[in-house]
Amino acid sequence: MSVLVAFIAAVLVSTGTWLLLQRRLSRIIVGVGLLGHAANLLLVVSGGRRGRAPLVDLDGVEVYSDPLPQALALTAIVITFGITVLLLGIGFRAWQVDQDDVVEDELEDRYLARRLEVDPDIADEVEAERAQAAEEGRR
Amino acid sequence: MSGLVAVPIVAPLIAAALSILVSRWRNAQRAISIVTLGALAVIAVVLVLDLDDSGGIIVAQAGGWPAPLGISLVVDRLSGIMLVTSAAMLLGVLVYSIGHGGVERTQAAFHPVYLVLAAGVNASLVTGDLFNLFVSFEMMLVASYVLITMGGQRERIRSGMTYVVISLVASTFFVVVLALLYASTGTINMADLAGRIAQLPDGVQLMFALSLLAVFGIKAGLFPLFSWLPDSYPAAAAPVTAIFAGLLTKIGVYAIIRTQVLLFDPDVRPASLLLVVAALTMAVGVFGAIAQNDVKRILSFHIVSQIGYMIFGLALFTVAGVAAAIFYTFNNIILKTTLLMTSGLMERRGGSTRLLRSGGMIRTAPLVGLLFALPALSLAGLPPFGGFVAKFSVFDAGVGSREWAVVAVAVLVSLMTMYSMNKIWSGVFWGEPEQPSEHEPRDGGRLGGPVLMVASTAALVVMGLAVMIWARPLFEFTERAAIELLDRRVYIDAVLRPTP
């Protein structure tokens, strides 16, 4: 059974990683969510084999399942949930500002790469680059 | 004394809740934050002064549960000195932000989130439990996600997003490492882990050492995991950049020191890898800084470069090396916070932090020039400043361990640090602006800026000078901290076998 769970975690990690490497913010957010699920799943498996009695006061039960990983997973799930909401908020704001959710290259880097001696943030030029990047993103 | 250990975590959280309740009255929020952070600074000092009486380590078990079961809170000399330094920085930057106006004035969320950041920083330093360290990091990072994007400007959202996503990847990886650690050892209490990891096969131990290094390396900005840092920090509001530059990466360094030294046996620690990483972090950071032409970006690349020195000290795993790393870390927290605070003053006075768009500030704001020059010279490692003591102790430890190549890199890098500080000086304070600034320059009066901003910056500059004056007692303190760290029994016994 642990093998199956580990396999599911592996699928989640690979899908999450692929989504994380996309250019669209919405996909990145889904990717982060999937990665978080994979990590939480691993936390649950780290408690050992399934099928043992939960930690309750039962007569005649000698072997309990380890409650700690479950508590840890619960904490991690809450944190993942909160962060996903925050990410969606930031993503929404990005869409409000740009009407687009493509993650852009840093302009400063591109200018440095071309070794422009002049001050890079000449407003028109930046604006033109940005518009072009957005255009490419839309296509 | 052990009752005081939980206060640095709990007090700012309660204060944050109160701060939300009074979010309509900014002055009430300010009073709450200042009183809380001021009290925290006092408590941190009390804890550190008490350390020598209580055998160098104070342990509290949350809820009274004995060690491997409950959550241990531990203050030893390393976390003590970090607590004092970060409390001072948090208070200084808070006063600075009140003077700055900006997000502090427009956003009701600033004060509560700032207090949560303080709680997260303190919790990361105090906790003796690896999962709790994850939760503390999350507390600190979530607060930082909100602070970095606060205001919601285009640039902040864009750069903030990079920061958030990279940090999240690191956090997820942290959870995976925790799951693996728990599956193989059955504990996440750091003192308990130290004994149990040693029973695992060597390869598995090394895997854990490297995974934890990667997790905290992203937070600390080690080469090659630093690329998010110089991109995201400069975009935030000036007080936010100052506190991030001072604290967040150094908390990552603290976690690296803590986990590598405490959890792993000397023969498993990836010492040679750390040496190479340290040299590359120093060199790549400073080359990045030289290529920039914006004050905030130059200073952000220097954050990376300086991290290399701390890791160099640690990588030697000798008393001299670890002591130098600790000294370097807290000294650098003060210097970096101060420098980014002065860059905020430059931005306000001159309307820009771009070198080409500013100039001549030595005439318009001579005091800002002085406040920049002192920590800048210290950062470059000129005697007699605290930065010289820190750099010299790292070099000395490196020579003591015969790591000539890395010492040579470190010396060259500090020369180049000097060069890029000169670049800022001649760009901002001398000459004339070659192009108009993007914002309207604001008249700062005789001081060069609002009283609160200049006063808080000056206070932290004085604190940096105090490190120089009391360098010897401070260095002896870090030496005791290093001895205690490397002899892991002190920590393990204090947590697992408390004397009644």
Assigned domain for B30 exists: no
Stretch B290-311: mean pLDDT? 89
**Chain A: closest CA distance from residue B175 (Å):** 6
Residue B295 in tokens: 């004050």
- Residues A71 and A79 sit within 8 Å (Cβ to Cβ): no
Distance CA A96, CA B496 (A): 53
Distance in Å, alpha carbon of B358 to nearest chain A alpha carbon: 12
Is A7 in a helix, a strand, or coil?
A: helix
Residue with tokens 């709450």: B32
Instruction: Answer yes or no: do B158 and A90 touch at CB < 8 A.
Output: no
**Is B349 inside any structural domain?**
yes
- Binned at pLDDT 50, 70 and 90, residue A78 comes out as very high
Mean pLDDT of B282-311: 90
Higher pLDDT: B479 or B354? It is B479
Whether residue B432 is predicted with pLDDT greater than 60 in this model: the reply is yes
Is the pLDDT confidence value at B3 over 80? no
In a domain? residue B459 = yes
Instruction: Check if B199 contacts A (Cβ < 8 Å).
Output: no
Is B15 in contact with B32 (CB distance < 8 Å)? yes
Rounded to a whole number of angstroms, the distance from the CA of A104 to the nearest CA of chain B is 8
Helices (H), B381-403: 386-400
User: Phi and psi of A103, rounded to 5°?
Assistant: -80, 125
Cβ separation A36–B172 shorter than 8 A:
yes
Whether the predicted pLDDT of B251 surpasses 80: yes
Q: Percent of chain B, pLDDT > 90?
A: 43
Q: Does A25 have pLDDT greater than 60?
A: yes
Q: CATH 1.10.760.10: does it fit domain A1-56+64-103?
A: no
d(CA B11, CA B16): 9
Predicted local confidence at residue B64, as pLDDT? 76
Measured distance between the N- and C-terminal CA atoms of chain A, rounded to whole angstroms = 44
Query: Does B175 touch chain A if contact means CB atoms closer than 8 Å?
Result: yes
Of A67 and B77, which is predicted with more confidence?
A: B77
Give yes or no for a cis peptide into B224 (omega within 30° of 0): yes
The answer to whether the Cβ–Cβ distance between B135 and A90 falls below 8 Å is no
Both tokens assigned to B396: 């000395």
Q: How many CB atoms lie within 10 A of CB B135?
A: 20
How much is the average pLDDT of B282-291? 90
The answer as to whether B174 is a domain residue is no
Contacts of residue A39 in chain B, CB cutoff 8 Å?
A: 172-173, 175-176, 179
Is the CB of residue B189 less than 8 Å from the CB of residue B129?
yes
Q: Do A90 and B161 touch (CB under 8 A)?
A: yes
Beta bridge partners of B82: none
Least confident of A113-122, B193-202, B396-405, B459-468: A113-122
User: Which tokens in the block code for residue B131?
Assistant: 């999962």
The pLDDT of residue A117? 47
Amino acid at B30: R
> Which residues in B lie closer than 8 A to residue A91 (C-beta atoms)?
161
Ramachandran assignment for A138, one of left (phi > 0), alpha (psi -120 to 50 degrees), beta (any other): alpha
List the single residue in A with minimal CA-CA distance to B181. Answer: A46
Predicted structure pTM score:
0.90
Tokens of B123: 């919790």
Preceding amide of B384 cis, omega within 30: yes
Angle between helical axes of B295-316 and B271-291 (0-180°, round to 10): 160
Domain extent for B438: 270-469
B352/B468: higher pLDDT: B468
Indicate whether B499 belongs to any domain. no
Number of domains in chain B: 1
The mean pLDDT value for B200-204 works out to 89
pLDDT at A107 over 80: no
Cα distances from B293 to residues A67, A121, B299, in angstroms, run 55, 11, 10
Average pLDDT (B155-181) is 88
B94 lies in some domain: no
> What stretches of A21-122 show up as alpha helix (H) in DSSP?
25-45, 67-98, 107-113
**Residues of chain A with C-beta less than 8 angstroms from the C-beta of B173:** 39
- Buried (b) or exposed (e) across A99-134, using 16+ Cβ within 10 A? ebbebbebbbeebbeeeeeebbbeeeeeeeeeeebe
How many residue contacts between A and B have a Cβ separation below 8 Å?
101
- Residue B262 lies inside a defined structural domain of this protein: no
Token pair in block for residue B53: 């009486």
Q: Look at A43 and B169 and tell me if their CB atoms are within 8 Å.
A: no
Contact assignment for A83 to B168 by CB distance below 8 Å? yes
User: Could you tell me if B268 and B209 are in contact, meaning their C-beta atoms sit under 8 angstroms apart?
Assistant: yes
Burial of residue A56, with CB atoms counted within 10 A of its CB: 0-12 exposed, 13-18 middle, 19 or more buried: exposed
B357 touches chain A (CB under 8 A): yes
pLDDT in tens, B134-153: 999 999 999 999 998 887 77
CA angle B425, B431, B436 (to 5 degrees): 100
| Residue whose entry in the numeric block shows the structure tokens 């070198």 | B355
Stronger pLDDT, B498 or B148, i.e. the higher one: B148
pLDDT category of residue B238 using cuts at 50, 70 and 90: confident
**Chain B partners of A86 at a C-beta cutoff of 8 Å?**
142, 145-146, 164
At residue B218, the pLDDT reads 92
Which residue, among B113, B149, B166, B175, would best test binding to A if mutated, counting the most A CBs under 10 Å from its CB?
Answer: B175
pLDDT confidence of residue B123: 93
Residue A15 burial class via C-beta count within 10 angstroms: exposed 0-12, middle 13-18, buried 19 and up: middle
Q: Does B155 touch chain A (CB under 8 A)?
A: no
Chain A residues lying within 8 Å of B180, measured CB to CB? 42, 46
Of A32, A72, A121, the CB nearest to B131: A72
> Is residue B272 within 8 angstroms of chain A, CB to CB?
no
Choose, out of A119, A122, A130, the residue to mutate when testing the contact with B (most B CBs < 10 Å). Answer: A119
Domain ranges of chain A: 1-56+64-103, 105-139
Strand partners, B379: none
Q: What pLDDT score does A118 carry?
A: 47
SS3 B154: helix
Percent of chain A with pLDDT over 70: 63
Confidence label for A34 from pLDDT (cuts 50, 70 and 90)? very high
- What is the reported pLDDT for B443? 73
